Amino acid sequence: MVVALHEQERNNLARAISYSEVAAIPQVWPIVAARYGDCLALHDPHTHPETKYTYRELAAAIAQFAAGLQSLGLQPGETVALFSENRPRWLVADQGIMTAGAVDAVRGANADARELLFILDNSDSIGLVIQDITTLNKLAADLSGANLRFIVLLTDEAAELETDLGNVRLLNFTELMALGRDFEGKFTPAPLSRDRTATLIYTSGTSGMPKGVMLSQANLLSQIAGPCSVVNVGPGQKVMSILPIWHSYERSFEYFILSQGCTQIYTNIRYVKQDLKNHSPQYMVAVPRLWESIYEGVQKQFREQPESKQKLVQFFLGQSQNYITARRTLAGLNLANLTSSPGQKLIAALKMIYLWPLHQLGDRLVYKKVRAAMGGQVTHLVSGGGSIADYLEDFYEIAGISILGGYGLTETSPIIHVRRPWRNLRGADGQAVPGVETAIVDLKTRQPVPAGEPGLVLIRGPQVMQGYYNNPEATAKAIDAEGWFDTGDLGQMTAWGDLIITGRAKDTIVLTNGENIEPTPIENACLRSPYIDQIMLVGQDQRTLGALIVPSAEALEKWAVSRGMVSSAEQATGLDAIALHSQPVQDLFRQELKREVANRPGYRPDDRIGTFALLKEPFTVENGLLTQTLKVKRAQVSDRYRETIDTLFK
């Protein structure tokens, strides 16, 4: 399905800086240097000293890095691995590699050493740009068989290793930039074209070894044009960066906002709440887990208030919930009822008139403090990398903070659908960005299904990857002869072109009665409980669903103290002080699951969670149970807790 452009989209595209004549991302930087010169492009307040680049300095640094690589003998078409987490020098290295005509194979420095070594080998990299000496030491002992000619650190540390790397040349960032400065007169710009492979992004994957997604310059340029139709950004506006820079979601968004002259502020999970207050960004992209963390922080502050104040806050939240529901109904943005009758709209309008004073009072007393905690200047938050739970969207909408949900995959560069400010249909994943074709087909016949019917999501357009590197079999399986990419996601489409993702085809749980259960919506509903921090549904080929639950330590400890199950002194020991298998604790979670699942829109009896296990160890990136973008690795969790799962269904 292709939807005609909205008037606001046409206006945004008309105002946006056009890069239609640009053949590759590296050609953007001289343009922005000329247009925005001394405007601040990048600012990392957490380095010592702080790292700052103006647009003019950024373009010069990229060119100098490229010249340094060329002086080391790097040839167009060769591949250089880039292993690092967020930092301004990552962008300098990334674009320096492309400017030299090479391809970069990217991954985070915190990935497992075996995975990094696999990428280094699989990508045929002849060079390595790496975060620091610590990360290099993690790999050094196994680099003797790699076909490397040089290694560049992104720090200014002494480029020395105890491990003998033979003829591999090792330099730090300053040394490479010095080479580039001396070589600038001899630098030969590489020929760049839209069909040239720009990067290999290795899928974080929820199972198995990653595949190298080949994205072309055209793929990456599509991610500048697409967001231009959605939001109108420009010089002086700030964007906060927290997601892994090597991930396609954060990376493509950075290309977009920097092409428009914005200032990017780097943060991390430790400083994000402080940085939101200190830097007051207008935009931020993140995964639902971050919005949940901020929500939980606010809820904690609410719970610490006197009981009378807590009741007042809950009263206002309840009235505002009714207000925003009526507002969405009136605007035709209520997913449960997209075609409201005139009578329903009249009732919604009357409700809004009645509730507006209470909502405004709640805003003055409560919600403006939430906005202030996020810097007070947020125009839009962009959420992707997984579905965002309804209760989180409700909370932010009540607080006057707009979340634009989006959908995409690494293989689609990634953004292909996004909600617009003028059509922010909650519960949906937005309309297609310009150029994208979306088809919903029957899983078995691959024939299109009617609007509103569920099926497999297929995508075609300039965002779709070139294929998987050195893996023609996987490429042929993913992209058919007509160019349709199989997303592996299940979804449906409204008559207005809004995509609604309902789950992953491989994640579907089939019960013994033949019912197909999509776990994500049920999990999101359960996460509304203050006692549940993480949850994963299980139950393939069982009579009922089960769940693995990581309790919220703080909420459960407070509950246990209030009931005299543990003392205040024991509370400091965390979940270890609580008997998770005790009847009161089990009853608490059984009630929470029953309530939240039953209150979920579209509830049916098969959604009921019949059995569960409480886990003390959370799912984290470090223990291999979350991807770098904080998605649960279902296969790994199932393997880790196989005995526990089997016991649930005995």
pLDDT, tens only, 592-623: 999 999 998 778 888 999 999 999 999 998 89
Band (pLDDT 50/70/90 cuts) for residue 206 is very low
Would you say how long the chain is, in residues?
650
E strands in 446-577: 455-460, 467-468, 485-493, 499-504, 509-510, 516-517, 532-538, 545-551
Token pair for 635? 């296969």
CATH architecture, range 509-648: 2-Layer Sandwich (3.30)
* pLDDT tens track for 59-77: 999 999 999 999 999 999 9
Cα–chain center distance at 477: 25
Maximum mean pLDDT: which of 18-27, 451-460, 562-571:
451-460
* pLDDT tens track for 311-365: 999 999 999 999 999 999 999 998 888 888 999 999 999 999 999 999 999 999 9
Instruction: Assess whether pLDDT exceeds 90 at residue 133.
Output: yes
Token pair for 159? 């480029």
Crossing angle of helices 307-331 and 390-398, in 10° steps, is 100
Residue 632 forms beta bridges with which residues?
A: 626
* pLDDT tens track for 506-558: 888 888 887 878 898 899 999 999 999 999 999 988 989 999 999 998 899 88
- Burial of residue 508 (CB within 10 Å: 0-12, 13-18, 19+) is middle
Q: Which residues are CB-contacts of 586 (< 8 A; sequence separation ≥ 6)?
A: none
* pLDDT tens track for 547-601: 999 999 889 988 988 888 877 666 556 677 788 999 999 999 999 999 999 998 7
Extents of the domains making up the chain: 25-192+232-282, 289-374, 509-648
- Burial of residue 245 (CB within 10 Å: 0-12, 13-18, 19+) is buried
Q: Which residue has the higher pLDDT, 598 or 9?
A: 598
Can you tell me the distance from the alpha carbon of 330 to that of 355, in angstroms, rounded to the nearest whole number?
14
Band (pLDDT 50/70/90 cuts) for residue 207 is very low
Can you tell me the distance from the alpha carbon of 239 to that of 259, in angstroms, rounded to the nearest whole number?
13
Q: Is the bond leading into 306 cis (omega within 30 degrees of zero)?
A: no
Q: Which of 72, 65, 70, 104 lies closest to 88, judged by CA?
A: 65
- DSSP code string of 162-224: SS--TT-EEE-HHHHHHHHHHHGGG--PPP--TTSEEEEEE---SSSS--EEEEEHHHHHHHH
> Given 3.20.20.70, 3.40.50.300, 3.40.50.12780, 3.40.50.150, which CATH number is that of 25-192+232-282?
3.40.50.12780
